[in-house]
Amino acid sequence: MIRIAAVGDVHMDVDVVGRYRPALERLPEQADVLLLAGDLTRRGTPAEIDVVIRELQDVRVPILAVLGNHDHESGQPEKVNDALRARGVHLLDEAPFELNEHVGFAGVKGYMGGFGRYTLTAFGEQDTKTFVGTTLDEVQKLEYSLRRLSTPVRVVLLHYAPIMDTVMGEPEQIFPFLGNDRLLEPIDRFKAAVVFHGHAHHGTFRGQTPGGVPVFNVSMLRVREDAGAELFYVHEIPLPQEGAERETEPDVDTPAESERMAARSGSA
Ligand SMILES: [Fe+2]
Ligand SMILES: [Fe+2]
């Protein structure tokens, strides 16, 4: 059994110094790894990221993170990344992470654009194409990261939602700004064991992909109100039995989503 603690949208600032440390100090009794699903800060300022680092200082398990849009607000996400890296936090946007021979993690921030037949397409103005291109880059990065994992169990961490189910509860008008389901393709094709994301504070805690992969919206508010947890949701995954790996092997012979999207964009 592997125990994964996950939370996003903690939105720390100087007014919360010391608030989360007791729960984080106890975390290793409950989990083997901590996932941070972005929006660690309110505006990504140096003072806020200092608070994050201080709150995390007693966590004695590996910490894996992706940034959120709020961590970009001050225009210096690299400084946020530098501080996290210096603390020993593994940034999944840079490389996947294998906890052991069984379980690996891939993650990207993701981006917005909407869901289903209403997803924004790369048509018209250059600004629109650039916007959609940002999402497609994230899809490609996630696919590449999943491809690099050699573990039979693959866990995905995002900030933006990859399905509409877990944004339900937010105003319908902002659904397109809460995520994009283009991220589903690599998640389902690589048969991820579970997906965690944040960003939709008032969304729904649990959903699943069309391929049956469980998806958890671990925004701190959802974790507290829906999972009844103090700070983080703990998800347990049974480790594969001997000889069961075949079932979780990804379907890597199908063309890469990026290649198919490149082919499609010719007619967009
Ligand atoms: Fe947030
Ligand atoms: Fe966010």
Q: pLDDT tens digits, residue range 104-131? A: 999 999 999 999 999 999 999 999 999 9
Q: Which residues surround ligand 2, an ion (CB under 5 A)?
A: 39, 68-69, 199
Neighbours of 98 (CB within 10 A): 14
In this predicted structure, what is the pLDDT of residue 255?
45
pLDDT at 139 over 90: yes
In this predicted structure, what is the pLDDT of residue 117?
93
Measured in Å, residue 11 CA sits from the centre of ligand 1 at 7
Measured in Å, residue 70 CA sits from the centre of ligand 2 at 6
Joined together, the tokens standing for residue 21 give: 């440390």
Taking residues 144-149, report their average pLDDT.
Answer: 98
Measured in Å, residue 40 CA sits from the centre of ligand 2 at 9
Ligand closest to 8 (CA) is 1
Measured in Å, residue 96 CA sits from the centre of ligand 1 at 23
User: Locate tokens 């660690």: which residue?
Assistant: 40
Q: Give me the sheet containing 153-157, strands edge to edge.
A: 97-98, 103-107, 153-157, 194-197, 214-217, 206-208
17: confidence class by pLDDT, cuts 50, 70, 90: very high
Measured in Å, residue 263 CA sits from the centre of ligand 1 at 34
Taking residues 155-167, report their average pLDDT.
Answer: 98
In this predicted structure, what is the pLDDT of residue 239?
85
**pTM attached to this predicted model:** 0.91
Measured in Å, residue 200 CA sits from the centre of ligand 1 at 7
Question: What is the overall mean pLDDT for the chain?
Answer: 92
Measured in Å, residue 47 CA sits from the centre of ligand 1 at 18
Measured in Å, residue 181 CA sits from the centre of ligand 1 at 19
pLDDT at 24 over 90: yes
> What DSSP line would sit under the chain, residue for residue?
-EEEEEEB---B-GGGTTTSHHHHHHHHHH-SEEEEES--BSS--HHHHHHHHHHTTT--S-EEEE--GGGGTTS-HHHHHHHHHHHT-EETTT--EESSSSEEEEE------BSGGG---S-SSHHHHHHHHHHHHHHHHHHHHHHH--SSEEEEE-SSBSSSGGGBTB-GGGGGGTBBGGGHHHHHHTT-SEEEE-S-TTS-SEEE-TT--EEEE-BHHHHHHTS--SS-EEEEEPPPPTT-HHHH---TTSPPHHHHHHHHHTT-
In this predicted structure, what is the pLDDT of residue 252?
53
In this predicted structure, what is the pLDDT of residue 260?
44
Taking residues 141-166, report their average pLDDT.
Answer: 98
